[in-house]
Amino acid sequence: MSIQKRAVLFMSLYLSMAPWCMTPVQSQEMKQAGKPGLFSLGANRQVSIGSITADNFWLLDDASRYQEMYTREFNIVTPENQLKFRHIQPQRDVFTFAAADRHVRFAEQHDIAVHGHTLIWHRSLPEWLLESPLPRSDMIAIMNHHIDTVMGHYKGRIKIWDVVNEPITGKGKLRHTVWHDRIGEEYIELALRRARQADPSAKLLINDYNVATINRKSTKLYNLTKQLLERGVPLDGIGFQMHLSVHDGLDFESFSENLQRFSDLGLALFITELDVAIHTPVTTAKLQRQASLYRDIFLRLLSQKTVKSIQMWGFTDKYSWIDSHFPGHCCGLIYDKNWGKKLSYTAISEALVSEPQYFPQTVTLPAGSFDDAHGVDTDGAIVFNVDNGDWIQFNNVDLKNGFAKLRIRYGNGQLQPGNWRAEVRLDSPSGVEIAKIPIVPTGGWDVFRDKTATITGGSGRHTVYVVFKGDRGAGHFDWVRFEE
């Protein structure tokens, strides 16, 4: 070995030794002794805060600083690349775990959870898998063997896995990938079932980008997820990558509504790859806008109890994929290139310690919530005949959580003027009435009107019923929203 190589090896061993020698308890105490890191600010909100860990981070020029920051700030991490297929199985049946092991061991030494990324993806695949067109049975065998070996290797240690990554296109179709095209669309189900067998205690996710708000892609993911769950396929959560930009921002209402619809399926939610890129040149105004986006994203996420972790795709702009992958963009993270805390860092620290926020919640009405619903039209609205006494049911509504209004959007053509109202009742369709909404004809099916009712009385958690009173008629109800 050359002197130079030995020096690098020695330095890296030295740099990584000190923290490795500590017990989790010691390192936890050390974290608490200094200023609290982000994860401890988030502790009483029951959300883990994390980042990727860079490839061979123990060899970076500033490895000790990197490790110090990472262990101080985070309690969950995702190895950026070194768990990907190409790195783990570079030759058929040859598994190389050394680098990934190092990420996992380091995290374990510091009491930090590891999020496994990723098992089945169309990118970061080895040449051997791509060069010869293997038949379906071979592809299934390769997929199973990879899942068994990798999850088996980290059994009980990596507790969350992105089993399938990026399976859907922007047009809302299943992506044509080597897995999809050679196995068929059931590759997703096969991978998830195999993963459950490989480590029954691991949380299994589908992870994708551009699925944070309601759009064609997230709706396809939603429908796919729903079908998988209905068929009993083991799927525990969704990973929302969230690679964003200051320029594009985020539609926050759509974001909350989208998170809610996935939560309503009984899934846990994971933010897996958050970054907010800036289109160069960087200006103070853009940094401020970035901070405000980070703050608002965190506030929304913290108000959603099903969100289990919020991870960023890095923490310092010095080590980020943005510069190399998106020319003309940079600086999407919370520390700058010189390790200075950015406004975005302050913004998320403030969000983490702020009082829980309440955001108006729009409930897109599911067909089954009507006692006689007879259809859902193309954009998801309910079309139904309303009879006197028909009701919509909302489970587990927290009246204490600050909402005081209920807004309903509807259109109708056939109601008699003056005859109609919606009564808001607690716990049964004939329970205590807490609000009343008069419903007047809107002049047609496509003519919508929003009506708001103030809720008086009622506290704590209840099943809330919206009961329709009046003559028989037909209505088109788009949504009901609880507002502050």
List contacts with ligand XIL (CB under 6 A): 80-81, 165, 241, 273, 321
Q: Which is nearer to ligand XIL, 84 or 409 (CB)?
A: 84
Distance in Å, CB of 21 to ligand XIL, minimum: 30
Distance in Å, CB of 321 to ligand XIL, minimum: 3
Catalytic residue among 166, 189, 257, 423: 166
Q: Which is nearer to ligand XIL, 241 or 309 (CB)?
A: 241
Distance in Å, CB of 80 to ligand XIL, minimum: 5
Q: Give the residue at shortest CB distance from ligand XIL.
A: 321
| Residues 28, 111: Cα–Cα separation, whole Å | 7
Phi-psi region of 222 (alpha: psi -120 to 50; beta: other; left: phi over 0): alpha
Catalytic residue among 80, 189, 257, 273: 273
Q: Which is nearer to ligand XIL, 211 or 386 (CB)?
A: 211
Distance in Å, CB of 326 to ligand XIL, minimum: 11
Q: Report whether the peptide linkage leading into residue 133 is cis, meaning its omega lies within 30 degrees of zero.
A: no
Measured from the Cβ of residue 170, the count of other Cβ atoms closer than 10 Å reads: 12
Q: Which is nearer to ligand XIL, 273 or 478 (CB)?
A: 273
- Shortest CA distance to 334 belongs to which of 311, 310, 316? 316
Q: Which is nearer to ligand XIL, 78 or 442 (CB)?
A: 78
Tokens of 366: 């599911």
Examine the residue annotation and report whether 185 is marked as an active-site residue of this protein.
no
The DSSP line for 265-313 is TT-EEEEEEEEEEEESSP-HHHHHHHHHHHHHHHHHHHT-TTEEEEEES
- Shortest CA distance to 79 belongs to which of 91, 64, 97, 61? 97
Q: Please, are residues 171 and 220 in contact by the beta-carbon 8 Å criterion?
A: no
Placement of tokens 């520390």 in the chain: 335
| Residues 311, 321: Cα–Cα separation, whole Å | 15
Distance in Å, CB of 420 to ligand XIL, minimum: 50
Write out the catalytic residue numbers: 166, 273
